[in-house]
C-alpha cells in the first residue's frame, strides 16, 4: 500500500464503494430487493464484475435482459434506499482509510465514484472521512462512466492535478481500466480486502 509514497504524485484519487468502505455486500443485498420485486436475478459474480457502473445503467441492463418494463428512476430510488437502511453496518476499509488519514493536508485528494453524490457523501460521513477530500465526482457529474476515464479526469481537474501525476485507488476491473485510460497510476486494493460474499450466507 506504499506504492504512491515513492513517486511524485500531485493527487490521490479514490473510488468509494469497496475501496474506502466495505459497502459491496450491502449494495448486493439492495440489488436483490429490486430484482426479486421484478422477477429478475443478478448473479453475485456479475455484480462484482459491474463494479463502478452507475445504478441506473445496471437497472436498465437487467430490465432489458429480462424483458421487464419498469420505472428506472423508481427502481434506482428503491435500490439506494434499501442500501441506506444498512448504512449503520458499513465499516471502513482500514488499509485504504489509513492512507487517507496519513495524507490529510499533505496532498490533494478526491473521491471519484460511479455512485450517486448523496449515497457517497452519506458513506464518507458515516466512516468519518468526508472532510479529507477537496472534491467529490459522482455519477451525476459525467456522461461516460467507468471504464471510460471521465470520472477520474474530472476529479484530477477539480483538484488541479495533472492526470499523469495522479494515483487511483480502486477495487474493480472497470475502475482500474478507467484509471489506465486516464493515464494514471493505480493501486488495486483487492489484495488487501475481500468482501464477504452474500450468496454464501443465503
Give me the CATH number covering residue 154: 3.40.50.1000
| Contact (Cβ atoms closer than 8 angstroms) between residue 157 and residue 135 | no
Which of 54, 70, 88 is the last residue in one of the domains?
A: 88
The length of the chain is 202
Which range, 55-59, 155-159, 172-176, is most confident? 155-159
Shared-domain flag, residues 46 and 137 = no
Domain range for 141 is: 3-22+92-192
For residue 153, being part of any structural domain is answered with yes
State pLDDT tens for residues 88-147. Answer: 999 999 999 999 999 999 999 999 999 999 999 999 999 999 999 999 999 999 999 999
Query: Quick one: pLDDT band at residue 1, thresholds 50, 70, 90?
Result: very low
Residues annotated as part of the active site: 15
For residue 33, being part of any structural domain is answered with yes
| Domain count within the chain | 2
Shared-domain flag, residues 106 and 72 = no
CA atoms within 13 A of residue 196's CA, in its CB half-sphere: 11
pLDDT at 7: 64
Which of 100, 113, 103, 109 lies closest to 23 in space, CA to CA?
A: 113
Query: What's this model's pTM, rounded to 2 decimal places?
Result: 0.88
The residue that leads in pLDDT, 199 or 86, is 86
For residue 100, being part of any structural domain is answered with yes
Amino acid at each position: 500500500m506504499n506504492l504512491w509514497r515513492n513517486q511524485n504524485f500531485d493527487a490521490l484519487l479514490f473510488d468509494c464503494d469497496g475501496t474506502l468502505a466495505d459497502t459491496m455486500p450491502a449494495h448486493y443485498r439492495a440489488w436483490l430487493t429490486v430484482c426479486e420485486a421484478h422477477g429478475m436475478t443478478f448473479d453475485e459474480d456479475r455484480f462484482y464484475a459491474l463494479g463502478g457502473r452507475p445504478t441506473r445503467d445496471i437497472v436498465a441492463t437487467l430490465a432489458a435482459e429480462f424483458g421487464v418494463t419498469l420505472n428506472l428512476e423508481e427502481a434506482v430510488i428503491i435500490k439506494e434506499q434499501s442500501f441506506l437502511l444498512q448504512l449503520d453496518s458499513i465499516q471502513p476499509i482500514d488499509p485504504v482509510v489509513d492512507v487517507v488519514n496519513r495524507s490529510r493536508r499533505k496532498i490533494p485528494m478526491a473521491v471519484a465514484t460511479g455512485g450517486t453524490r448523496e449515497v457517497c457523501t452519506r458513506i464518507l460521513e458515516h466512516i468519518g472521512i468526508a472532510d479529507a477530500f477537496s472534491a467529490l465526482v459522482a455519477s451525476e457529474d459525467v456522461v461516460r462512466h467507468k471504464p471510460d476515464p471521465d470520472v477520474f479526469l474530472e476529479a484530477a481537474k477539480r483538484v488541479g492535478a495533472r492526470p499523469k501525476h495522479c494515483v487511483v485507488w480502486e477495487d474493480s476491473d472497470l475502475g482500474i481500466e478507467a484509471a489506465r485510460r486516464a493515464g494514471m497510476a493505480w493501486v488495486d486494493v483487492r489484495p488487501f480486502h475481500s468482501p464477504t460474499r452474500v450468496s454464501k450466507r443465503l
